[in-house]
Amino acid sequence: MSNKMKLTAGAVKRLWATGKDEFFTDRESAGFYLRMSKKGTKSYGFKYQLRGRTHRYRIGSAEAWTADEARREARRLRAEVDAGGNPSKDRQKDRKAETVGQLWKDFLHNHAIPHKRPRSVEEDKRNWRNHLEPRLAHIPLKDMTRRDVMKMMEEMRVTPGAANRTLALLKTMLGRAVHREIITANPCGGVKPYKEKGKEIEPLTDGDFGKVMDA
């Protein structure tokens, strides 16, 4: 089912899941649409005809893109199609060649910075720079395997806390690659984090207890 409306931030926000996939086409920009899944997940896209075939190009989620940003992207894609280009085919080529390093850039700018606290973003940058970049940045996503992840964890076994945080970051990044249909499964699946020793709390001495009571 397709409905025609002007796609604005307010209009998109007011849409609720109906238990079925729905498409809402924009009144202003030809081919620009919003897809709402059965569960209410919203994403923008661009639909176009080329040599008698219909193509759909997913621009991105409504969480990462505003309606105005997605509309501008749809207009750029329309100009590309009018000039003889095929955005969907170009994307397929790009995805086959995309590396873990390129995935990091997408994750940083489209997920971490918009949605995470600055302190968490800085930690992600540090874990990427110190641990992931030197080991995995050059690997094409289609060639990434669980063995690569396990090798990284083995090399970081002397710092289990850092290893676990780095694994969590990588798992989230690769989860986005699965969501974008670049890969079919997350290579971090089944890789277990290290057990971390909790900090031991020393009992208070009589002198310490007295200081606490005085305070």
Per-residue pLDDT tens over the stretch 76-103? 999 989 988 888 776 666 556 589 999 9
Per-residue buried b or exposed e for 44-79, using 16+ beta carbons within 10 Å of the residue's own CB: bbbbbeeeeeebebebbbbebbebeebbebbbebbe
CA dist 50 and 161 (Å) reads 52
- Average pLDDT over the chain reads 87
Predicted pLDDT of residue 29: 93
Residue 167 confidence (pLDDT) above 90? yes
Sheet containing 42-50: order of strands? 2-5, 22-26, 32-36, 42-50, 53-61
Which tokens is 102 given?
């390129």
Joined tokens for residue 91? 């994307």
Decide if pLDDT at 215 tops 80.
Answer: no
43 pLDDT tier (thresholds 50, 70, 90): very high
pLDDT of residue 52: 86
Q: Over 70: is that where the pLDDT of 6 sits?
A: yes
Q: How far is the C-alpha of 72 from the C-alpha of 56, rounded, in Å?
A: 16
CA distances from residue 16 to 19, 23, 67, 128 in whole angstroms, order as listed: 9, 12, 16, 37
Q: How confident is the model at residue 206 (pLDDT cuts 50, 70, 90)?
A: low
- pLDDT tens digits for 105-149? 989 988 899 889 999 999 999 999 999 999 999 999 989 999 999
pLDDT, position 201: 45
Q: Against a cut of 0.85, is the pTM above it?
A: no
CA distance 7 to 5: 6
Identify the pLDDT of residue 188. 96
Backbone angles phi, psi at 95, to 5 degrees: -65, -35
So what's the pLDDT on residue 181?
75
Residue 122 to residue 135: CA distance in whole angstroms: 19
pLDDT value at position 205? 54
How far apart, in Å, do the first and last CA atoms of the chain sit? Answer: 69
pLDDT in the model for residue 204: 47
Range 31-50 average pLDDT:
93
